[in-house]
Structure 1
Amino acid sequence: MSNDGLGSWSTLDASGDDIEAENGTDLLTPQDDFSHGYPIADILISIFILLISIFGLMGNGTVVCFLGFSMKRNPFTTFILHLAAADLGTLICLFSFSIINLLESISFLPFYDYYLLISIGIFPLLFMYNTGQYLLTAISMDRCVSVLFPLWHRCHRPPHFSTLVCATIWIISFLLSAIDLSLSISKITVDLIFYQLLMNAILCLPLMTLSTLVLFIKVYFRSQQRKKGKAVIAILLALLFFLFLAFPFTCILLIHFADHGENNTVKFLGLLCSCLNSSVNPLIYFLVGRKKHSRSRETLKVIFQRVFKEEEHGREEVELSVSLQI
């Protein structure tokens, strides 16, 4: 077991006696790895995570409040609401981790408490991170169908399909995290998290990459499409940021299992990438929804409505064109 930085990502299989035996000293005065303190890079990254998380919590909280209470939901905004909730949960976990790491780095937190908090807290983080990854995969596929088969998507799509998909994703993610936690508490030496992350990479990455390419082609290379949909552009940017920021977090975790957690700074960089990805979506909605050359100040409600109500208007236009053809 590696006693560095974030501790063990995958197990709770060390009792107090085992940890004390490994260190060879009293738990409150460890003299092995933790006696040397944290590298300055790890402390700085933890501070960046803390600051970025604050802005991300404010942004995702605004999106959740707006879509949950101030706007009539449609199939598209249902996905966005659940994605914002998953990002909010991820940022809460990362915010807590950064505080715990900073407290441990200045010796305000005993090693055993630090190890226990990190080991238990990693499961809510993976739960929220996996939920966001699955939701974004579902959103990308839904957007691809909407641009490839717009008539079917808006006229023959099941009415509560988005809600059912979101509920299924939350349940699956929770069950996987609960199984991981149960196996770890039971001290069963099965690295289920490794295989779960590997499955996520094998399933989600190709689907997201394909969806990103399809949306990119439809948005930028269709000469007959004069007006580019704001909702499609927002999802395309969210997918690109995920592929460049959040997905490396999965790769870093897989590398962590391979080298038994030897490189602690790499793990902090992975957490920073995940933090940036979970915080960037509200900024994307804001930049896509605002008018570029407008001198008047617009409220966030007006800007978000410009992005999220587009789906509703598009549905009405398609239904009207179908009725005219009939």
Structure 2
Amino acid sequence: MSNDGLGSWSTLNASLEDNGAENETDLLTPQDGFDHELSPYRIADILISISILLISIFGLMGNGTVIWFLGFCMKRNPFTTFILHLAVADLGALMSLSCCSIMRILSLFSFLPLYSNLFVVFDCLLFFMYNTGQYLLTAISIDRCVSVVFPLWHRCHRPPHFSTLVCATIWIISFLLTVIGMILFIFNILLYTIFYHLLMNAILCLPLMTVSTLVLFIKLYFRSQQRKKGKALTAILLALLFFLFLAFPLTCISLIRFFTPHIDYNVEFFAISVGLLCSCLNSSINPLIYFLIGRNKRARSRESMKVILQRLFKEEENCREKREVSVQTQM
């Protein structure tokens, strides 16, 4: 089985292993030219690997800063709990991507065997973190949508530790699904487990996230009374939009290649690499969104990230409290 880290989930396709066993040939044969000649695909592979590595460095710094301030320097509320766990998932995904990129670059220059168990380890970790981030964003989108459409019900009937409970449940479910899927694949009990997992994610998460994003967009920009809401809602809306445009392409590419098993290896590998690059951008962009939306444009002095995050999420909490008071007054 191919364990090409940057190819990631394409390496976990059982059909490759079966085809290699039937033909009694080395799986390296189809891509010998790709790995040993300076072809355009190899050059693109090197450039994408380097780009992923560089973007991951900035993403790790940004998400690490968000985790530090939200986890240890600020008082948490139900909303920031979701953001904290999302930053942890993005941090884990970026760590996996950066490690796979380093190993891929080393393998291209023959400093590391192309097929290594380390690739599989980081592939599984990436798959776990990618799914967790996807589930967390789906939960965040639904939570924000309910808070906007039914503000009083969301404020008064929401359990105190609901966010923490949801985040813990998502981590457990994502971990169990990843482990079960890998065990079924390793023992050939159920082939194409990655495909079924991705298909389930697309069927469940994509519609929910799309509908929630549309509702938030309409409520935020097409109703004048909603334009006075906090900046945190705008930040979440942007995060959802970037996720739909940057993260889901990797799922779509993986599903498409399942239905086109005879596609050229170089084209397939390049498509997966582009999908991983988009996913890397998505995991790195959220801290930048928080910074740009939360900063005070009129401030002459440079503000710290802690001040920006406090303004961003404190403003959303204040807006929720004012909204509750106004609704209760009307009643």
With the length of structure 1 as denominator, give the TM-score of the two structures. Answer: 0.89
Alpha-carbon deviation of 1:193? 1.0
Answering whether residue 302 of structure 2 is matched by residue 300 of structure 1, we say no
The letter of the residue matching 1:150 is P
Which residue of structure 2 aligns with residue 291 of structure 1? Answer: 296
- 48-57 or 296-305: which moved more? 296-305
Which residue of structure 2 aligns with residue 129 of structure 1? Answer: 130
Aligned with 2:274 (options 269, 275, 282): 269
Gaps of 5+ in 1: none
Which residue of structure 2 aligns with residue 119 of structure 1? Answer: 120
Alpha-carbon deviation of 1:36? 3.8
Which residue of structure 1 aligns with residue 234 of structure 2? Answer: 233
Which residue of structure 2 aligns with residue 203 of structure 1? Answer: 204
Q: How does 1:7-22 map to 2 (within 5 A)?
A: 8-10=10-12, 22=25
Which residue of structure 1 aligns with residue 85 of structure 2? Answer: 82
CA deviations on 1:40-84 (whole Å, 9 max, x unpaired) are 011100000000000000000000111100111111001000000
Which residue of structure 1 aligns with residue 69 of structure 2? Answer: 66
The letter of the residue matching 2:128 is F
Which residue of structure 1 aligns with residue 258 of structure 2? Answer: 257
Alpha-carbon deviation of 1:189? 4.7
Quick one: distance in 2 between partners of 1:6 and 1:93? 13
Percentage of pairs with the same residue: 66
Quick one: distance in 2 between partners of 1:19 and 1:53? 39
Alpha-carbon deviation of 1:14? 5.7
Which residue of structure 2 aligns with residue 100 of structure 1? Answer: 103
Quick one: distance in 2 between partners of 1:203 and 1:84? 22
Which residue of structure 2 aligns with residue 39 of structure 1? Answer: 42
Quick one: distance in 1 between partners of 2:196 and 2:179? 15
Tell me the SS of whatever aligns to 1:117.
helix
Quick one: distance in 1 between partners of 2:22 and 2:283? 34
Quick one: distance in 1 between partners of 2:62 and 2:207? 29
Quick one: distance in 2 between partners of 1:258 and 1:24? 20
**Conserved? CA contact 1:212–1:240, under 8 Å:** yes
For the structure 1 residues 229 and 319, does the alpha-carbon distance in structure 2 shift closer, same or farther, using more than 3 Å as the test? closer
Which residue of structure 1 aligns with residue 143 of structure 2? Answer: 142
Alpha-carbon deviation of 1:21? 5.0
The letter of the residue matching 2:73 is S
**Conserved? CA contact 2:106–2:112, under 8 Å:** yes
CA deviations on 1:142-178 (whole Å, 9 max, x unpaired) are 0001111111111221111111111111111001100
Alpha-carbon deviation of 1:322? 6.1
- 31-40 or 120-129: which moved more? 31-40
The letter of the residue matching 1:204 is C
Answering whether residue 162 of structure 2 is matched by residue 161 of structure 1, we say yes
Tell me the SS of whatever aligns to 2:115.
helix
Tell me the SS of whatever aligns to 1:309.
helix
Alpha-carbon deviation of 1:231? 1.0
Quick one: distance in 1 between partners of 2:309 and 2:22? 51
Alpha-carbon deviation of 1:292? 1.8
Quick one: distance in 2 between partners of 1:31 and 1:322? 68
The letter of the residue matching 1:140 is S
With the length of structure 2 as denominator, give the TM-score of the two structures. Answer: 0.88
Quick one: distance in 2 between partners of 1:71 and 1:105? 44
Count of aligned residue pairs for this structure pair: 320
CA deviations on 1:14-46 (whole Å, 9 max, x unpaired) are 69x969952299x9xx95764446610111000
CA deviations on 1:196-238 (whole Å, 9 max, x unpaired) are 1011111111111111111111111112334242111000000
